[in-house]
Structure 1
């Protein structure tokens, strides 16, 4: 059967946390469509976006395939803040000495399903990658991160890391992560970490004791939490804009 006519299902590992109803009714051509970016050797490409239903369909998939030339750099930062189902998938292949930087935030309530999926291919020596994903969920929403790092046999001196942390603001919200490391080289540094929990109640109590209103305290704590995903944005105005646009979707919760 033609692959373009076949839709993935939640039985497929890379789609295990996706919205099954959306996949069943989706247009195969749209699901299998990839945007492509080629970063020339020694150059840097930067992509920054906030994904919400206000700017497009309530459910959508964006798949991006990137090739980074020798000593080049690709930096991507994204917030998924709206829609019934939104998925951003990035596949990056790194040449010698290249770097991939990714920062992502999912933030939503209701029944939203929001996910980042990355595949980072360290194909040559001395390449580096760093991925930081933060999820803030409430209602019955779900925030997902599936991150796969592949290190080829000849890709010595690889340095790769990924971090996922989630805050669940209400019971019923969910966060899922599936980190994968496939390493065939022996002189590498590869690490991943994950943690899922609630907002720091001690910090909220401390702020309340200093006269800070609960809504403001929550916003400040969430801002500090998601700020990790954008810390690598070197332009102050862009970083501040990403934080402000993201926090604008934070709805009042207890």
Structure 2
């Protein structure tokens, strides 16, 4: 039977500001990408999400990013490699404290936003992320885009790698994500998101922004938690995947 992991970005708030419905999304997804304080998140939020995830058997992932709270981590930044590696390790370590306190552990690492897109092609930044992961745990899986420099370098360093697809993001003909500034980069039609989810899981393919069929080999499917109606859409995606004969389970 075909299987796929469902992951979502959670804990994306700080102080009194809340962006994601963590509790309800954790009843749907199998892996949680938890913001570690650099693009969103704070100590209290991280602890709460880890406790909820542990209670429900959801795998906890460190979603690391550039230090860009004001820009939600979606602005590309020129960070020296040694500094970036240290900051990646710092973020993972902070989340690990709360994961262990909840009786779980950090099960994987996924870059966020601008850093995620940057390490698709930027070897120096990708190597810095890999170095940061290795500083914490040489057995931590890294989640990223198929064919990215990040996954290539992580694999060479001996880190487990997991490929990921996006149901609600438009793809280029090369299999990369269409930049958010381009019209149609985010797929907002719920029916289209559901259809793409099933196609990615069953056929390992998606229709690109230009209309071409692009192969996407992915073990995990990302559903963004900050989109309107995210919980209902996630539930519908999971239901339709199961109806299509896809087993939904964590990769880690």
Compute the TM-score of the two structures, normalised by the length of structure 1: 0.29
Higher relative contact order (CA 8 A, sep 6+): 2
Compute the TM-score of the two structures, normalised by the length of structure 2: 0.29
Higher fraction of strand? 1
Task: State which structure, 1 or 2, has the greater radius of gyration over its C-alpha atoms.
Answer: 1
